[in-house]
A and B are shown apart, each in its own frame.
Chain A
Amino acid sequence: MSTTLDPTPQEVSTSPAAAKDRAWWWWLPYAGIGLIVLYCLSPFYWMLVSSLRRTNDIFADSPVPTPFSIENYTAAFADNNGFLRALLNSFLVAGITTVLVLLIGTLTAYALARLDFRGKNVVLGIVMITSMFPTISLLVPLLELFSSIGWINTYQAMIVPSMSFALPLAVWNLTTFFRQMPTELEEAAQIDGCTPAQAFRKVILPLAAPGVFTTAIITFIAAWNEFIIALSVVNEKGLKTAPVIISQFTGEYGRDTPFGAQMAAGVIVTIPLVILVLLFQRRIVAGLTAGGVK
């Protein structure tokens, strides 16, 4: 297996013969791409447009905000909201959660994919079982537990539950990816003097990078957007995460929905994720082609 892992295996209409044969539908893939992008983005576009209206215009339905206004954004970042601080907290919580989940998830997945021991399926089963219970039923016992061990108003009270929600998928997904990797490479590296751990780290991990990276994205997004636990375990303003602060946005009078400010906040918390993913994606692809094992 030569593993350049060219990220672009399927060129659109490659050979001239194919191009001639299928000329009539060459545009189909592009139309499909267009449709999918439209499908994904049009609700988001509505969110963006709504966020750029004046507060009093939240009911308007023109496709372009007229008059255009950034007052929802200035309102979202108003000093008494503490939104900036909340974004920082969200980054901390989601970032630490992601790193820890990848770390211990990789260890566990390695054991499940590569080591020969009994009870493997039992472990996989237990890991999956933990994501079968409705979160809402975990909340009160978890609160009792956290208050009895003094975890109220701490970062770990948000990080550890987020980890537990992300770990099952991480373990299962990583296990699948590691299993797909050929063992011969690892064995060859071991013959060259690597320990199994080194062989795994230097050979398998880079090969499985797309899987690891995807797990990281999914974990980060899930932790970034986690709401009900973060709302319940923290009441100190300086520790609150972005979704919690967003839920506290209000209108002027209490009964009016701060729809514009909420949509602005939605845009603000979504865009960094997308940029983050774009940046990482480039690096991952670059790393793959540069460091790939030939």
Chain B
Amino acid sequence: MVTQGRVLRGAALAAALVLGVSACGSSDSGSPDGGAGNTPAALEGVGPISFVTGKDLSGNLQNQIDEWNKSHPDQQATLIELPEDADAQRQQFVQNAQTQSDAYTVLNLDVIWTAEFAANQWVEQLPESEFPLDKLLPTTVETAKYFDKLYGVPVDSDGGLLYYRKDLLDAAGLTPPTTWAELTDACGKIQPTNPGLQCYAGQFEKYEGLTVNFSEAVNSAGGVVVGEDGKPNVNTPEAKKGLDFLVEGVKSGQIPAAARTYKEEEGRRAFQAGELLFHRQWPYQYAKASATDGSSQVAGKFAVAPLPGLDGPGASTLGGHNYAVSKFAKNKKSAVDFIKFLVGEDQQRANLEKTSKAPTWAALYDDPALVEKFPYLVELKKSIEKAEKRPAVVKYQEVSTAIQSAVYDAMGGTTSSEDALKSLQGKLEELTKQ
């Protein structure tokens, strides 16, 4: 029985660890700082920091960090790179917060995570006066706020654009559609003479992209998903018209059945193969589809326009990233200075040139040299200025999953759009009640 004795002792040891570690875990959970107003507690501490982000796309980030390190020898920044996949990034950020580790200082967060990270007090409230917020596109700054307080500084943005086949529209004597009806008409005119050409696609696989596309459809029909007051309101005629654009599109074949498997890249494949007349897509597709090395069939044949809507131009959903400061980090003052450094005009310009990520610095969109290099900037600025952010709710992940579920089923024809919205409204109310 020696063996069992040992095992029991081992179990006792393990049990002791459970108690010990969970005690550590809960002792320092930190209480809200008395619900102070808009002036956060001063962020202190100067010294080495880490900068945690998805992979450095161009190597430019390391240049920026080197530049910072040269002028701040006592506050060296190190780069910590996370997986490419956004969910995997979020998982690492959350785990870091749950173990209250000080390994991460400055976090590069997707705009949709702001509410969750702020409400859980995983990131610090930031002093607005420290940052040049008035120089940034106002909608992007909104994505960094939760309950009217600033929890991050927007560093890059993203907005949806309507990619269209300019060659085909020109040949038919049409201008890019500003309404869904015009879009349908254009397809009706052009498709008969172009066999194999599909009308419209976006991102309709069951993932975050579907939430983006659904929100755009609802907003573009004059509806809301979650209102200004933080209350969901999807069981409305406007929202139904938005959803119907997608549901009826699949039913009539205006949206090809295969589009229900499309994330960004699958749709890009179809557009570049010349199989799509209209495509709702992010700016990144512009350069890829313009490639003249034979990989794109549509190079030089397409252009971009604002997304169409029910009665006029629609509204895009905002993407992008904000820099935030981890609650559990040391050297938070250095972190604030570092963020200030990174969101400055020069750094954003360099970043745009190297990675073609949409900046948040408003003036860059009007810079002739940049517009020449990135022709879509003009339309993109309009798109971002008019764009709606996704619901700023703590349980965003659950809200988004509920939306995806409802919309995916409605587009698959297993539920009617009415029933889908009605049950979605119920679920969202449950998830956002306070």
User: Which chain A residues (242-271) contact chain B, with CB distance < 8 Å?
Assistant: 244, 247-259
Closest to B281 in A: A255
User: Which chain B residues (45-75) contact chain A, with CB distance < 8 Å?
Assistant: 52, 54-59, 62
- Asked if B282 lies at the interface with its beta carbon under 8 angstroms from chain A, I say yes
- Asked if A135 lies at the interface with its beta carbon under 8 angstroms from chain B, I say no
B269 lies within 8 A of A119 (CB) = no
Closest to A126 in B: B7
Q: Which residues of B contact A140 (CB under 8 A)?
A: 95, 98-99
Closest Cβ of chain B to A67, distance in Å, is 8
B57 lies within 8 A of A250 (CB) = yes
- Asked if A214 lies at the interface with its beta carbon under 8 angstroms from chain B, I say no
Q: With the chains together, A118 CA to B3 CA distance in Å?
A: 9
Interface locus among A34-42, A141-149, A175-183, A186-194? A141-149
B4 lies within 8 A of A253 (CB) = no
B288 lies within 8 A of A80 (CB) = no
A254 lies within 8 A of B17 (CB) = no
Closest Cβ of chain B to A263, distance in Å, is 14
Closest Cβ of chain B to A47, distance in Å, is 17
- Asked if B355 lies at the interface with its beta carbon under 8 angstroms from chain A, I say yes
A56 lies within 8 A of B291 (CB) = yes
B99 lies within 8 A of A249 (CB) = no
- Asked if B181 lies at the interface with its beta carbon under 8 angstroms from chain A, I say no
Q: Which residues of A contact B80 (CB under 8 A)?
A: 235, 237
B84 lies within 8 A of A80 (CB) = no
User: Which chain B residues (18-43) contact chain A, with CB distance < 8 Å?
Assistant: 20-22, 24-25
Q: With the chains together, A140 CA to B25 CA distance in Å?
A: 11
- Asked if B415 lies at the interface with its beta carbon under 8 angstroms from chain A, I say no
- Asked if A45 lies at the interface with its beta carbon under 8 angstroms from chain B, I say no
Closest Cβ of chain B to A153, distance in Å, is 8
A256 lies within 8 A of B265 (CB) = yes
User: Which chain A residues (107-125) contact chain B, with CB distance < 8 Å?
Assistant: 117-119, 122-123
Quick one: which of B57, B81, B272, B282 has the most chain A CB within 10 A? B81
Q: Which residues of B contact A59 (CB under 8 A)?
A: 268-269, 272-273, 295
- Asked if A232 lies at the interface with its beta carbon under 8 angstroms from chain B, I say yes
- Which of B59, B269, B356 is close to A253, meaning CB atoms less than 8 Å apart? B356
A232 and B295 in contact, given A248-B81, A250-B84, A254-B284 (Cβ under 8 angstroms): no
A152 and B101 in contact, given A143-B95, A253-B284 (Cβ under 8 angstroms): yes
Closest Cβ of chain A to B237, distance in Å, is 34
- Which of A54, A123, A248 is close to B84, meaning CB atoms less than 8 Å apart? A248
B92 lies within 8 A of A231 (CB) = yes
Q: Which residues of B contact A254 (CB under 8 A)?
A: 54, 57, 284, 355, 357
- Asked if B369 lies at the interface with its beta carbon under 8 angstroms from chain A, I say no
Q: Which residues of A contact B17 (CB under 8 A)?
A: 145
B84 lies within 8 A of A231 (CB) = no
A255 lies within 8 A of B84 (CB) = no
- Which of A118, A235, A250, A257 is close to B1, meaning CB atoms less than 8 Å apart? A118
- Which of B1, B62, B264 is close to A255, meaning CB atoms less than 8 Å apart? B264
B4 lies within 8 A of A119 (CB) = yes
- Asked if B426 lies at the interface with its beta carbon under 8 angstroms from chain A, I say no
- Asked if B82 lies at the interface with its beta carbon under 8 angstroms from chain A, I say yes
- Asked if B148 lies at the interface with its beta carbon under 8 angstroms from chain A, I say no
B56 lies within 8 A of A80 (CB) = yes
- Which of B21, B83, B295 is close to A247, meaning CB atoms less than 8 Å apart? B83
Q: With the chains together, A250 CA to B296 CA distance in Å?
A: 20
Q: Which residues of A contact B288 (CB under 8 A)?
A: 56, 252-253, 256
- Asked if B88 lies at the interface with its beta carbon under 8 angstroms from chain A, I say yes
7 A-B pairs within 8 Å (CB atoms) are namely A59-B272, A143-B99, A144-B98, A152-B101, A231-B88, A252-B355, A254-B57
Extra contacts besides A123-B3, A237-B80, A254-B54 (15): CB < 8 Å: A59-B272, A139-B95, A143-B98, A144-B25, A231-B83, A231-B88, A231-B92, A247-B85, A248-B55, A250-B84, A252-B57, A253-B57, A253-B357, A256-B288, A259-B265
| Partner-A contacts on B (CB < 8 A) | 1, 3-4, 7, 17, 20-22, 24-25, 52, 54-59, 62, 79-85, 88, 92, 95, 98-99, 101, 103-104, 264-265, 268-269, 272-273, 282, 284, 287-288, 291, 293-296, 355-357
The 7 tightest CB contacts between A and B, nearest first, are A56-B295, A253-B284, A247-B83, A59-B269, A248-B55, A250-B55, A255-B284
